[in-house]
Amino acid sequence: MEKISVAVRFRPSIAEEAAGERQWRIEDNRISLHRPLGTPISGISFAFDHVFEQSSTNASVYDILIKSIIHAAINGFNGTAFAYGQTSSGKTFTMNGSQLDPGIIPQAVRDIFDTTHMITDREFLVRVSYMEIYNEEINDLLSLGNQRLPVHESLERGVYVAGLREEIVNSADQVLELIKLGEANRHVGETNMNVRSSRSHTIFRMVIESSAKDSTSSVDAIRVSVLNLVDLAGSERIAKTGAGGVRLKEGKHINKSLMILGNVINKLSENGKHRAHIPYRDSKLTRILQPALGGNAKTSIICTVAPEEVHIEETKGTLQFASRAKRITNCAQVNEVLTDAALLKRQKQEIEELRRKLQGQHSEVLEQVILKQRNDMHKSELEREKLAMELQEERKSRQALEHHMGEQQRRIDYLNELLASNDARKLVQGTIHTHSSYEEMSSRNCMSQGNTFTTPIFKAMPDQFVVKRSNHSKAFDSSPLPENFTNTANEDLWLQLNKGFRTDLDALQMTPNVRYRAAQSNDTSIGTDLEEWNTKERCLNLASECKLHALQVDALKEQYDMLERKYSQLREENSSLVQTLSNSNHDVVVLKAQKDELQKDLNYEREKMRDLKEEIRLFGLVFAERECLLNSLYSKSKTMIENFSSSQII
């Protein structure tokens, strides 16, 4: 277990410091903020592993902080170094440098190849890649066609970026040319604080594989280490950078990823018992750097700060970040691979014979041929992995289409069942329509027959009643009753008596028989009218029910039409899905054909490799024969000279 190495570097001041301003002071490895009179401000003091003043160079930063990580990576340890700080604080200059003062990345590249050339008991294979994280999308800086690459994780490779171009290299100059190509493809822009501001995070990765040269065992362990050199984009304040439009969007993504990086650092710096979930997956940056931040890697962080008084708040935030990062501990160990997962082990057996015969004037040409063959084989393997991933995605999409087609088929079956039930409903509706026609005919017959309706459903009204008044829709046969109360005992009198009217009952006269008979006949006609009215009401009720059934039939027809339209739409979707599935099958066939072509190309390259081996073997045989012939000629000439010299002496 070892802690992350954290250093702070002050860039040179851009403007002269005015008197009476707060200033940062460096005392050994401690940084503190002082008031204008020189008194320190309490609570603003930080201690780190190393503190580099404004006059420091990139070479001194590399020798003190990074060189040990580079040598550890050569010996099989994973290593990571990245620069953190606000915009225009010198991160890119620290990592890349200039021609007069090379940065950490070019110094590390030259140091790696110088050291590997000095190690004679191990064989090394180095491959490099260069990527950027721009607006939370991973782009390959060595290949413009590889954009928006995904991040994957496996047991053999750990966390890696799928589809990223890797180049096998054998010299520092070759790597520096690739870096120059990647820097030309990187996103940069101008802000108020920097003329050439980094608008993306870049990760330069070197994979170093090595194995013992004198080992002949088939289970020889191969060391595989990953070195990440990261140049982070700087945190920004809109008020200072004046960003707008595209620059504003870039700044938001940069600040968000740096905020997530700070959250990860906070979680990792906590005690193990109180440590909560670490949000590595919230950002592509923290996901890629997950092994370096809290895993198997030797890590160094260079926090760059600006000394001006106007940037004190940003500098304070950077120093607080560095203080939290200083409490993180990693457990770095040598990475050894005992399987055929290492690229060096897969290629070692094929080129071992060529390596032994690299002698004489053709050594440089054959070395370039071997390097080209290695790159071609590696590209073929990457292409095969890419095709395998595409095939897997195609299979997933095909399964999704089949599932969707199954859902559509179930919907079609349901619609067929619904159509069958609708046919049954049509029969019922025909019956209802017949019944309603019969009811309408009955109602018309009832209305036409009038009083001759033979099946009344109401009982006859009683002839004698006191309280209830008859229906006065028709006039009585007798004369109308007088308005004033008289001594005639008629119906109105009885109603008034029921309401509490008092009169002399002895003075009342009964209604004449004629009037009574007229009233009786009138009551009979009233009963007939009631029967007719009830019959009409029943007919009207039946007519309203028929109308209600007609409305229900119309609603069912509308629902049926809607289901018909939906059924036709589903049939069209089904046909389109079938077409899409056929297209996907065609694409699968095309991919298989491409895979076969690639396999043929790979076999062709292997045949060329075998032919080259055979040519080298024949060349070695001819060379051995000539060497034997020269040795025999040399021995014969030597004996002849000796004989000649001895004969002269005699």
SS3 string of 265-288?
HHHHHCCCCCCCCCCHHHCHHHHH
- Beta-carbon contacts of 310 under 8 Å, excluding residues fewer than 6 positions away, are none
94-151 confidence digits (pLDDT tens): 999 988 899 999 999 999 999 999 998 888 999 999 999 999 999 999 988 888 899 9
- Enumerate the known binding-site residues for ATP: 85-92
Which range is most confident: 291-305, 442-456, 606-620, 625-639?
Answer: 291-305
pLDDT score, position 220: 61
- Beta-carbon contacts of 144 under 8 Å, excluding residues fewer than 6 positions away, are 185
pLDDT score, position 463: 46
- 124/348 Cα distance (integer angstroms): 11
- Enumerate the known binding-site residues: 85-92
Question: Where does the pLDDT of residue 507 fall: very low under 50, low under 70, confident under 90, or very high at 90 and above?
Answer: low
- Beta-carbon contacts of 204 under 8 Å, excluding residues fewer than 6 positions away, are 105, 128, 129, 130, 179, 182, 228, 229, 230, 231
Cβ(156)–Cβ(200) below 8 Å: no
For the chain, the domains span 2-341, 430-530
Q: Which CA distances in Å does 626 have to 362, 388, 449?
A: 17, 50, 138
Residues facing 47 on adjacent strands: 30
- 348/218 Cα distance (integer angstroms): 11
pLDDT score, position 95: 93
Answer whether residue 630 shows pLDDT above 70.
Answer: yes
pLDDT: which is higher, 350 or 13:
13
Helices 104-118, 172-185: crossing angle, 10 deg rounding? 160
The percent of residues in the chain predicted with pLDDT above 70, rounded, is 72
Answer whether residue 63 shows pLDDT above 70.
Answer: yes
pLDDT score, position 397: 75
Question: Where does the pLDDT of residue 451 fall: very low under 50, low under 70, confident under 90, or very high at 90 and above?
Answer: very low
Answer whether residue 58 shows pLDDT above 70.
Answer: yes
Which range is most confident: 149-158, 306-315, 533-542?
Answer: 306-315
pLDDT score, position 433: 52
pLDDT score, position 527: 54
Question: Where does the pLDDT of residue 494 fall: very low under 50, low under 70, confident under 90, or very high at 90 and above?
Answer: low
pTM of the model: 0.56
- 51/226 Cα distance (integer angstroms): 27
**DSSP H/E element including 6:** strand 5-10
Domain 2-341 sits in CATH at 3.40.850.10
Cα 327 off chain centre by:
32
pLDDT score, position 145: 81
pLDDT score, position 232: 92
pLDDT score, position 516: 40
Helices 363-449, 343-356: crossing angle, 10 deg rounding? 150
Answer whether residue 523 shows pLDDT above 60.
Answer: no
**179 token code pair:** 């870096």
- Round the average pLDDT of the chain to a whole number and report it: 76
Question: Where does the pLDDT of residue 460 fall: very low under 50, low under 70, confident under 90, or very high at 90 and above?
Answer: very low
Q: What are phi and psi of 30, to 5 degrees?
A: -120, 140
Answer whether residue 535 shows pLDDT above 90.
Answer: no
548-593 confidence digits (pLDDT tens): 777 777 777 787 778 778 777 777 877 777 787 777 778 788 888 8
- 115/128 Cα distance (integer angstroms): 17
- 29/51 Cα distance (integer angstroms): 5
- Beta-carbon contacts of 373 under 8 Å, excluding residues fewer than 6 positions away, are 351, 605, 609
